[in-house]
Amino acid sequence: KENGYDAWLHYPRSSHAENRPAWCNVIVVTGGDEVLQTAANELQRGLTSMFGQQPKINDVPVDVPFIALGTFKDHPLVAERFSAEEQADVNAEGYRIRGTEMINPAQSASYDAIKGPYVTVAGQTAPGVLYGVFHLLRWLQGRLDGELPLQATSKSSESSDGPFLDVLSNPVNPIRMINHWDNMDGSVERGYAGASIFYENNALTKNMDRLRDYARLLASVGIQSLSINNVNVHQVETELITDKYLSDVARLAAIFRAYGIQIYLSINYASPMQLGGLTTADPLDPGVAEWWRAKAREVYAAVPDLGGFVVKADSENRPGPFSYGRHHADGANMLADALQPYGGRIIWRCFVYDCKQDWRDRKTDRARAAFDYFKPLDGLFRDNVILQIKNGPMDFQVREPVSPLFGALQATQVLLEFQITQEYTGQQRHLCYLVPQWKEVLDFDTYTQGKGSTIKRIVSGSLGSNGSPASPSSTKYTNYGIAAVTNIGADTNWTGHLLAQSNLYGYGRLAWDPELSADEIADEWVRLTFGGYRNRSHTGNSKHLVPAIKKMLLDSWNIYESYTAPLGVGWMVSPDHHYGPDVDGYEYSMWGTYHFADCRGIGVDRTTTTGTGYVGQYCSPQADIYESTETCPDELLLFFHHVPYTHVLHSGQTVIQHIYDTHFEGAERAANLRDTWVSLRDHLDEAIYAQVLERLEHQTEHAQEWRDRINTYFYRKSGIADQKNRPIY
């Protein structure tokens, strides 16, 4: 039954199954490594589904064409295929794939009977081989649809003597992580796709198959780290590190381990008090440190390869070192020392700000908080501590500047945190393909070590501390990367809105290779998801379908932005659940999220001359660009400046007319998304068509609600009429 469960791994039966390449008959894999076995099984499963015939898995070469899987070190057939230099180009989790039509027996020392074509998927490690297998499966699907390969193959050639497939791929980010905000009662904080797939009624789920399928989705896009409980660690979850639950954690770890994925636990900073009966959680108290050392021993005895702990401390009412007058390096280092003997890491979140601000207080600026707390601690953290920093200084709004903390830390390892779950971007009822937003963040130049000090270089660890690339062998290099809050839940299609699957797929692909474009990623995802049997016309990836859905995805972020909070000011959502328009919803609250609209103007003055000084947290020239309304980009104007409604933007439009225009257009463009989808009806599977249509209908209506609320609010505040006289209430 078609329901979206297989996502981008559904491997539709090829309409050209008779053209099955001969080498797809046999998979040769040696050794008992669990992840290698996974790789062989995944390949077998994909090929069987595409061609209707199950390839054999063999541990020795056979007399017919085949695919060889293995590591350079353990598989002679794999090793002999690549020169020493070619092998050295592959990093710990990368892969090489090579396919040739003919093997010259003289070239193969280990087996001279190989006659036909043969394909090799090789890595330094088993996970590298697994990622290579998923690449090969993507490539095959692209070919079998009668179109070009999904990805250009380097040095590829169709001639019979050269390889027809020759790929080298290394992940750019050493850590590629997914964070779950799942609670053990089965709820998911900011989850929009049903209940938790991990927990139910304060116990581990019984549905291990679903977890395995999740592991497949993650591994297929190169994810290898996974935190399995909410950063807000409540009463029950605090006990995950006790013998009450550790055997469950071990069972989860085992499932994900088979796919090369390491799990992490979010911990409660006050555990020594809540679990250990201590009177303090002071990081400098020897009793506290000893409690954590003993705890680490116990936890690692149960899960020897646990990645480590994720910590949200002194944030939104969570406990932390501030209660004891200690700073965050004290807190993080004490925990890091406890995990150090086991190779564990502390992922310490920087989402620290005063969430009890008085709205009357015009001096405090929440945007400044992370930099103000963490910049002075630069260089003080242990080698196994990584600071996890949200992409923007506020909280995953549709538009924010990039957090200045990335450029500010020169001697501290960092993880960039994205939010795949659409908390502030339509909650998976609106379409919002986030890859273009993430690309802008990754490409942002901090200038911290001169031009080219981009976020993608900082977070991948390649900028190094003095502008020179960090050495690949140093620990520093491995403790960098990207994390993101997942958007999946127990809904059959994983993400509620089927098209929101593209965000999970896109996140993984981008974390692997930040150079991929939003367009390329959308292209891959649409072809993999809508190829084959989902396409009722059965004409391969219909000429119409792929570009149309791609365009929907690529336009969607801009559309969502245009009918919600204008010009970077953010918020304007209903408090608590964050869905739907409420312009003043957070205006008089304690959360530090204000727009300051009155009858004259709107926006937050964050300049150094007259405002909160936040702009000064950036390096030049970014600081100069943001400081002046002359140079500040339109889309961030109200984040950085308070201006009159009559202020003229670079676009030539006044602020007030911009608000009206974008909201009228945005609502119309949302309706166009629905109309495009309706026009694709004949090309789509019935059930898939219906589930997406329902969301797009809702979005169309809800975008009108946004339009009318925002336009009316600003018309009433400003008294300035719409130049085009459209209905405003």
What distance in Å separates the CA atoms of residue 236 and residue 21, rounded to the nearest whole number? 53
Q: Please, which residue, 189 or 290, has the CB nearer to ligand GCU?
A: 189
Q: Please, which residue, 540 or 592, has the CB nearer to ligand GCU?
A: 592
Residue 710: both structure tokens together: 């925002």
Task: Considering only residues 411 through 430, tell me which ones interact with ligand GCU, judged by CB under 6 A.
Answer: 423
Task: Considering only residues 297 through 316, tell me which ones interact with ligand GCU, judged by CB under 6 A.
Answer: 312, 316
Q: Please, which residue, 140 or 350, has the CB nearer to ligand GCU?
A: 350
Q: What are the phi and psi torsion angles at 560 (to 5°)?
A: -60, -45
Which of these, 268, 355, 683, 694, lies nearest to 493 by C-alpha position?
Answer: 694
Q: How far is the CB of 485 from ligand GCU (least distance, A)?
A: 7
What distance in Å separates the CA atoms of residue 600 and residue 573, rounded to the nearest whole number? 22
Which of these, 218, 221, 220, lies nearest to 197 by C-alpha position?
Answer: 218
Do the strands 95-100 and 163-169 form a parallel or antiparallel pair, or are they unpaired? antiparallel
Q: Please, which residue, 312 or 345, has the CB nearer to ligand GCU?
A: 312
Q: Please, which residue, 388 or 541, has the CB nearer to ligand GCU?
A: 388
Q: How far is the CB of 604 from ligand GCU (least distance, A)?
A: 18
One-letter-per-residue 3-state SS of 129-178: HHHHHHHHHHHHHHHHCCCCCCCCCCCCCCCCCCEEEEEEECCCCCEEEE
Q: Please, which residue, 317 or 620, has the CB nearer to ligand GCU?
A: 317
Q: How far is the CB of 191 from ligand GCU (least distance, A)?
A: 10
* Catalytic-labelled residue, pool 63, 298, 305, 316: 316
Q: How far is the CB of 350 from ligand GCU (least distance, A)?
A: 10
423 as an active site residue: the answer is yes
What distance in Å separates the CA atoms of residue 609 and residue 605, rounded to the nearest whole number? 9
Q: Please, which residue, 120 or 268, has the CB nearer to ligand GCU?
A: 268
Contact 191, 496 (CB under 8 A): no
One-letter-per-residue 3-state SS of 326-347: CCHHHHHHHHHHHHHHHCCEEE
- 351 counts as binding ligand GCU under rule CB under 6 A: yes
Residue 212: both structure tokens together: 């395995």
Let me know the angle formed at the C-alpha of 625 by 624 and 630, rounded to the nearest 5 degrees.
110
Residue 340: both structure tokens together: 């150090």
Q: How far is the CB of 438 from ligand GCU (least distance, A)?
A: 17
What distance in Å separates the CA atoms of residue 729 and residue 726, rounded to the nearest whole number? 10
The helix or strand, by DSSP H or E, that contains position 385, with its residue range, turns out to be: strand 385-390
Name residue, tokens 């405002």: 611
Q: Please, which residue, 312 or 647, has the CB nearer to ligand GCU?
A: 312
- 476 counts as binding ligand GCU under rule CB under 6 A: no
Contacts of 588 (CB under 8 A, 6+ apart): 359
Contact 86, 52 (CB under 8 A): no
Rounded to 10 degrees, the C-alpha dihedral 302/304/307/310 comes to 30
Length of the chain equals: 729
Phi/psi-derived region of residue 100, left when phi > 0, alpha when psi is between -120 and 50, beta in every other case: beta
Q: Please, which residue, 282 or 314, has the CB nearer to ligand GCU?
A: 314
Rounded to 10 degrees, the C-alpha dihedral 409/415/419/421 comes to -160
Contact 385, 345 (CB under 8 A): yes
Residue 370: both structure tokens together: 């992370």
- 518 counts as binding ligand GCU under rule CB under 6 A: no
85 as an active site residue: the answer is no
One-letter-per-residue 3-state SS of 583-634: CCCCCCCCCCCCCCCCCCEECCCCCCCCCCCHHHHCCCCHHHHHHCCCCCCH
Let me know the angle formed at the C-alpha of 553 by 550 and 558, rounded to the nearest 5 degrees.
135
Contact 546, 653 (CB under 8 A): no
Q: What are the phi and psi torsion angles at 233 (to 5°)?
A: -95, 105
Neighbours of 297 (CB within 10 A): 12
Q: Please, which residue, 101 or 395, has the CB nearer to ligand GCU?
A: 395
- 395 counts as binding ligand GCU under rule CB under 6 A: yes
Task: Considering only residues 434 through 453, tell me which ones interact with ligand GCU, judged by CB under 6 A.
Answer: none
395 as an active site residue: the answer is yes
Q: How far is the CB of 181 from ligand GCU (least distance, A)?
A: 7
Write the DSSP symbol of residue 28.
E
Compute how many residues bind ligand GCU; rule: CB under 6 A. Answer: 9
Task: Considering only residues 189 through 248, tell me which ones interact with ligand GCU, judged by CB under 6 A.
Answer: 189-190, 231-232
* Catalytic-labelled residue, pool 282, 395, 627, 708: 395
What distance in Å separates the CA atoms of residue 35 and residue 494, rounded to the nearest whole number? 24
* Catalytic-labelled residue, pool 101, 182, 423, 635: 423
**Alpha helices (H) in 193-327, listed in sequence order:** 208-220, 235-238, 246-257, 271-274, 286-302
Q: Please, which residue, 421 or 535, has the CB nearer to ligand GCU?
A: 421
Q: How far is the CB of 581 from ligand GCU (least distance, A)?
A: 17
**Alpha helices (H) in 449-577, listed in sequence order:** 455-459, 475-478, 501-512, 518-530, 545-563
Task: Considering only residues 690 through 709, tell me which ones interact with ligand GCU, judged by CB under 6 A.
Answer: none
Q: Please, which residue, 35 or 231, has the CB nearer to ligand GCU?
A: 231
Q: How far is the CB of 231 from ligand GCU (least distance, A)?
A: 5
Question: Which parts of this chain interact with ligand GCU (CB under 6 A)?
Answer: 189-190, 231-232, 312, 316, 351, 395, 423
Catalytic residue ranges: 316, 395, 423
